[in-house]
Every structure is written in C-alpha cells, then in structure tokens.
Chain A
Amino acid sequence: MGIGKVAAIACATLFVSSSSDSDSPDAHSPENPGVFIMGVDGMDPVILSRLIDTGKMPNFQGLAREGSYQSLATSDPPQSPVAWSNFVTGMNPGGHGIFDFMHRDPATYAPVSSATRAPEKAGSALHLFGYVFPLSGSDPENNRGGTPWWDALIAGGVDVEVYRIPGNFPTPESKAKVLDGMGTSDLRGGFGTYTLYTDAAVEKDDPKGDIQFVTVHDLDLDGTPDTVTSILRGPPDLFHLEPGQVPREGDYLTIGLTVHIDPVAAVSVVEIAGQRVLIRQGEWSDWVEVTFDLLPMGIMPVSGAVRFYAKQLRPQFQLYVSPVNISAAKPHTPVTSPDDFVEDLFAEVGFFYTQGMPEEQEALKDGVFDEDDYLKQVALVQEDTRRLLDLALTRFEPGDATFMYFSDIDLQSHMLWRHKDPKYPNAPDHPAYDAAISPGHTRDIENLYRDVDAALGEVRRRLPPGTLLIVMSDHGFQPFSRDVHLNAWLRENGYLVMKPGKTTGYTFGDDVDWTQTRAYGIGFNGLYLNLAGREAQGIVDPADADALMSEIARGLETFTDPDRGEGVVLRVDRSAEIYSGPRIGEGPDLLVGYNVGYGCSDQSTLGEITERVLEDNTSRWSGSHLMAAEVVPGVLLVNRKLSSDGHDLTDLTATLLSHYDIEPLPGMIGEPIL
C-alpha cells in the first residue's frame, strides 16, 4: 500500500497539467490600478497626427481626447538601442553605456556590437579526440549599465511583465518576467541570417543570407525535376573552434534537408530532422523545431526553430528558410528572465519569433524577397505580437506593470518609405522609388499604423478601469534619400589619411595611416578622435582635442550637399557636454546629427572609407531616424491629462517609479510626467 501511495502521488504530480502558476502572492497594493505601456518603435507624431485628423486612428484619437497626446523627445543619437536604454534605465548613454548600434574597439579601430560586453580575453582549451573543450573564459554579458525600471518595481513588490524589450540580450538576471526583443541573436549568433536554396541567380553580389545554390534532380527520370537535397546551417561548431575564433562558413553545425516537389502541382514536402512539412508555392510553413548536436550521440543538443517559405518551386526553385531562431521550447541560452518565463510563454502561445528583429528585412534588402513576400512575413510577426498581447492582457491584473513592444512600424518605415512618403505627401519620389512596384504599396505604412490602432483598441477595451495607459515611441521617422560617407568626408578634409596608394579601405586593417589620422567614424552617428593614450595608435594630444572637435564640428555643420544645396548636418554635439554618468569615456567624442533626408551610409558606419562622400540612397532601406534628435521626436499618449510638455524617454522611467511611490535610483535623470 505504501508503494502504491507513493506511486499515486508521483503520478498525480507527473500527469496533472502543469498549468499551475508559481507566482508568489501579489505583493503590490490593490489600491494601485497598475500601468500598461505600449512601446511602438518608430511611431512618428506627424504621421500619427495626420491619421488621427483624418479619422483613420479612432482609438488613438479616443486616447488623445480622453488624456494627453504630445511629442516625446528621443535620445541623442536617436537610435533604438540608445533610446530604449534611456527608457529602461532612466539614464542617458553616459550612464548606461549604449551610444550607438555599433561601438568601436580602440585597439583595432574595428566596429563591435554595442549590445555585448565581450570577454576580456579568450580562455584556454583542452584538445581531446579532435574536439576543443574550453577550460576557462566567460559568457558574453549585456553591455547596458544601470538598473532597469522593472528591477526597481519588482523590488517594490510590483508584478512586472515585459514583452520584447529591445537591448536586453544577453539576458541580465532579474526577478521580473522579461522577454528579450531587438538585439536577440539567432542560433548562428548574428541578428538574422536567412537561408535561400535556389537554382537561380540572386540580385546582390554580397547578400547577407546564406545562399545555397542547388540542383533540382529528376530522381524518377520522368523528365520533371523533383528532389533537392542540401543542408541547413545552425550554430557554430563550438567544440571545433578555438576560444574566441570567429566561425567561417564551414564552421557551423549542419543538418540535412530534402525537398520533394510534386510533378504536377506547385506544392512540396520539406523533410528535415525527422519532420515533414507540406507547403504550397507562396506559402509559409508553421514552425519546425530543428536540433543540432554539439557533441555526438545527442549529448549536447541545441534546439532552434525555423519557418520555410516556398517562394517558387517551378520553373525556378527558391526555398527560403527563416533565420534559425533560438527555440522557445528549449532555448539553449536564456531569452527571458527568469529563465523559465519562456516556458510559460511557450505553453500559452507555442513557438514564436525569438530573434530580435524578426521582420526579415535583410531578404528584402538583398532582393531575395519582393514587397509581397516581405509583407507576408511581416504579417506572421504581427500575428505573434497579437498572441503575445492577448496573453499579456489576459495575465494583467490591477496593480501590475506590463510593457508590450511593437516593432512593425519601425522596420517597415525603414523598408517601405520609398514607395510613398507617408510624412510629406508632396515629397519628390525617393531615389529608390520603383514605378513598377511602388504604386501598389503606397499605403503599407499607413496600414501598419492602423494595425497598431486596432491593438490599442483591444488594450483599452480589456484593461481594468483606472489602469494608467501609456503609449510611447522611442523616435519618429524621416525620409532617407542621401547617403553620407562620413569617413570619406574626413579623408577629403584631411582628418583621416590613407596609406600611400590607397584612397579607399577600412579603419581596421592596413589601409589607414594612423600616424597622420586625427579622426574616424564608426557607428551611425559616432565620430572618434584618434586620441593618444586611448586609441592604439592615437596621435591627438588630449590638450588639442577641444580645438580639433570644434574645428570638425564647424566643418560638418557647414557641409553643404552640392547637388541639393542643403546643409548635410544640422548640428554636432560633444558627448562630454550632453551626457552624464560614469561611462561617457566609452562613447564617441562627437555625435553627428544629420539633416532630414541624410544619414550615415552603412559602409561608413562599419568603418569603410569609400570613394564618394555623398550619393543617392538607392537602397530599399529608405526611411530613417539616425539623424539629429530634434527632427525625429517620438510620440507620447497617456490616459491622464498632462499639465506640461517637453518630456523625454527618461521622464517615463521616472513616471513608472513614481507611480508606485518608488524613489528614483542613483543616476536616473528624468522627472515624472504626472
């Protein structure tokens, strides 16, 4: 009997559904109605106002009428990682240490991601049976300093849930339930490497994706090609890489993939990792979990999840595979805090995009996707957002603090602006305007705004009465029609000197004569002095830095576009003057605030020195906000009457804390808006 009893209890534990919530009892005050924040990346006040005025955003109109609507000052520079870090920590970059998408390594002059603080040095390793076993070293850490507002709220007894917050990967430890957003890598360690299997040529010479040229074989010799076999690349083969070694193409784990194409209908079956999915031409599959083995016999599996898109099966073969997302079912690295929050999410909504910027804009940039393909994929991301929003609203209780992030407007404003300027209706055509495609996509961005309006309607309908509702964006948008190659401008003006015989090249490598170079650019708005004692080959005496910065700033602020007669740069700020906090010294010396329509080119951002200084931006990346902060403010809507305006992102952080009567943390600079 004893055994039976024990077994029965064990069984009851094992087979009873695991729906029980391990939340501790509510610690927040029941009198506090709580707060719900919708963070809409890239929502622009000019576009929003026009849509409200024309009655196309009824829920935003209702919220503005009921409470307050004003513009919200963004960060300087107005880049998402910086702006969201301001919001998360209530500090400016001098405090939290995120100055740009890209920072630079002063030892090598190479661009490095701002998201991660890399280990100081690679650890040692044991070589055994052909494998490399690391013996020391540490995992990469999140580079954002300061204390997130959710940690302050949790410490104050508030239940907090944060969905897809940018810049939170690698995931810092926290008791708050936080799902990482923008900046979360895919399984390969990048920010989204897609795979295309094709037997046709691709548009770009240097696509960002993994292009696999395949042959469609005719296995049954009936005259109709029917079968493709290839591989899917997953995470780096870590046990065959030396510590710190950057993986090359052959250094990734792979699994086999077979595609069967029906001889008659435009439909196929993809077989991968023991699973099969049937997809029609033009259709996306559901998620497929794929597992890569780091060690033999499944000792150390790494799970990912992918979706397939049968772009074309015949006459040309083009099968697209999404970047291998970290599996929400079995993440090998945390994408939430606490680690097991992702299990709750997976149990409720199944697989979802864990990749930080899930809209596959690289495929559109590369011409692998056309607009219709892209928007089809965007709709999948929106579906994810809707499911997570529904879950967040279901879990929300009076007194809670919940944040929900919406990515679509930002990425699609970047990608689709060229078709029809949504901000300036009479603007001339963008250089990347395509008469064959653009007329069919003139309302795409407007439609995305209206989708967010629908989400707001759902939020307003379901929130408990009295809940403080804040809708905010990190920045607005402007057209991006002219590429500025900042490093080329520095070269032309004698601040950056190339080695003899070279006019182009990279800041890293062997192209620049650092013994004569006084300044260089890396990042979308950053400009660094080649400062003695800081940069590896620095020559600028710190005593001369002030004069040099003034000289460069004057030069840039008077820099005129010869083709348009417009100023290229609105203003140049000095980090030391506009930032506060202990990490000022890590950032650029100068921040270049570009005029409307201008922005730093991708090449210069990544340290390239090009031939030309200015040129038309013919890329599909046609809208931007990487300019002077004052030309791209965000929006702020609150369901309370505000008595003042001129608020910025750090004020919202202060507001969240004051809403729960929590004192501001050291270093926070904002003031409550209520």
Chain B
Amino acid sequence: MQTYNDVAGAIFDFLLAPFGHDFALFDLVLWPAVMGVAALQVYKHVSNQRAIARVKKQISMHLLEIRLFRNDIAQVLKSTGAILVKNTVYIGHNLLPMAVMLVPMVAVMVQLVAHYAYAPSRPGSVELLHLTLAPTASVSPRDVSLKLPPGVTLDAPAVRTADGQVFWRVRAEQPGDHVLQVSVGGEIFEKGWAVGGEPRKVPVKRLRSWEALLYPGEAAIPSGAPVLSLELGMNVRPLAYLPDGELGILIWAMVLSMLAGFALKDLFGVTL
C-alpha cells in the first residue's frame, strides 16, 4: 500500500502542477480529458463493440415500435419489456470495461484530490487533531501525548474518549510545513500540517487500512500499529458552483472525462 502510494506519488508529483498550484485549471482540464481519451481506448479494446452496436440498434428498433404502434397497448407493453431486457444486456456489456477503467481513473482522481481539494490552513486558524486507536491496541488513550513544533500551539487540553479516541485543538501560529508528533505508548507517529504560503499538495489524514490509498498526501500508518487513523481538520478549497473540496473535484473530473469521451468517440471510432 505504502509502496504504491510512494510510486504513484512520485509519478504524479512530477506530472501534476507543471505551472504551479496556482494554475490548477491546467491539470483540472488536462487530466480529466486524458482520462476520457484513455477510457475510450480501454472501452474500444475491452468491450464487445459489435454486440454493443447490435443491442443499441435493437433498443432503437423497440423504441420505434412504441412510436408506431402507440395505439396498441399490448404491443407497447411488449416493446417496453424488450427495451428493459436489452438495456440490461447493454449494461452487462459495459461491466468489464468499467471494471478495467475503474482502477486507473480512481488513481488519477485520487491524485487530483490530493493536490487540489485542500488548501493550506490560514495562519491563526484552529483545527482539531483526531487520533483513533486500533481496537487491538494495548495502549490506553491516557498513554497518548502530543509534541508540537515551533509555530503550533495547543489551544485546549486533550480529550480522551472512552472508545479510544484522542482529540487536540491546535492553533497554527506561524506559516510553514509543520510536523506534529504523537507518541502512542512510546511509538512516534508524525502528522504534517501545511499552514500559509502558496497553494500546494497538503497532507490531510493518515490511515492504516486500504483507505490510505485514497489519501496519498502522507505516509500510510503501518499495519499492526496501535493507531488506526490520524487526521487533522483541513481547509477545503472553495470551488465556485461546485461542492467545495473532494466532492467538487470528483464531480468535475468525472463530468469532464465523460464529456471528453462523448466528444471524441467518433474520432476514435468507438461505440458507446
């Protein structure tokens, strides 16, 4: 998991933001468009193009039947049923290419989210640092402590909950890429905090399970560690006309890649 994140991170850190994070527009148009084109190629070679063309033609035929025999209820019902069946067949033809496309598309979108869904916290802002102990951990929340770097202060005492969570309210006094250190039974876990400065890829959360693949901005927590997750409330990037942060980036990337796919399908000779 960590190896994958390291490799993918190295590749996309190189590819993304060639003109800097201020020019998010470049990446947010280019990469969804590339995804759309790549998806077309996958679709063309993995799907049964002839079968898809055939089933689409059959659906058109049944639609025509409904229009022609709209006064014949029995025929309309029969044609409607046939359309439902053919639609199911059509969706079936799409399952394999979708499964093949899913992995690379998610990989790209995860990187776009990591780079553009969040912004550095503003100096002076107060955020919640949240640690969840693994259910199997032998340490108690009382054995957890926090060490802060210069430029970050504790804004309130920690809250240790009965179900193995610890919360701290921390204040960013100075800009910088700070590293907070949490000691769990003597074992140190680091958490990055990007404060102030230019837009950049910012660390959000460290996770232990497969979900760590979705947050490549920071190292995954090793399996077997007593910590399940370590998160810091982050400043989501506002996106006009779209939901802020992750959801907005995901919607944008999906819609734009689909638009690119539909716009270029004839050019690449693909039947969708």
Contact = CB atoms under 8 A, between A and B. Distances in A.
Counting chain A CB atoms within 10 Å of each CB, the highest count among B130, B165, B167 belongs to: B167
Contacts of A13: 240-241
B242 A278 contact: no
Contact of B29 (A7, A16, A220, A260): A7
B236 interface: no
Contacts of B168: 278
A201 interface: no
A129 interface: no
Interface string A623-634: 000000000000
B158 A262 contact: yes
Nearest to A17: B240
B251 to A, nearest CB: 11
A interface: dominant SS? mixed
A268 interface: yes
B122 interface: no
Nearest to B263: A3
Interface in A274-294: 276-280, 283
A226 interface: yes
A267 interface: yes
A27 interface: no
A276 B240 contact: no
B73 interface: no
Contact of A11 (B25, B161, B165, B260): B25
B169 interface: yes
B interface: dominant SS? mixed
Nearest to A221: B162
A16 B240 contact: yes
A265 B157 contact: yes
Contacts of B85: none
A280 B33 contact: no
B25 A278 contact: no
Interface string B47-66: 00000000000000000000
Given A14-B240, A15-B25, A15-B28, A267 B159 contact: yes
A280 B29 contact: no
B157 A280 contact: yes
B39 to A, nearest CB: 15
Interface residues of B, number: 31
A280 B157 CA distance: 8
A56 to B, nearest CB: 33
Given A8-B29, A14-B241, A276-B128, A3 B159 contact: no
Given A12-B25, A14-B240, A16-B240, A7 B33 contact: yes
A219 B160 CA distance: 12
A130 interface: no
A219 to B, nearest CB: 4
A4 B161 contact: no
A464 interface: no
B29 A278 contact: no
B240 A268 contact: no
Contacts of A24: none
B123 to A, nearest CB: 17
Contact of B167 (A15, A220, A278): A278
B10 interface: no
Given A7-B256, A11-B28, A17-B240, A227 B162 contact: yes
Interface of A: 3-4, 7-8, 11-18, 218-220, 222, 226-227, 260-265, 267-269, 276-280, 283
29 contacts: A3-B33, A3-B260, A3-B263, A3-B264, A11-B25, A14-B240, A14-B241, A14-B242, A15-B24, A15-B25, A15-B240, A17-B240, A219-B163, A226-B162, A227-B161, A227-B163, A260-B161, A262-B158, A262-B159, A262-B161, A264-B160, A267-B156, A267-B157, A267-B159, A268-B159, A269-B167, A277-B128, A278-B128, A278-B168
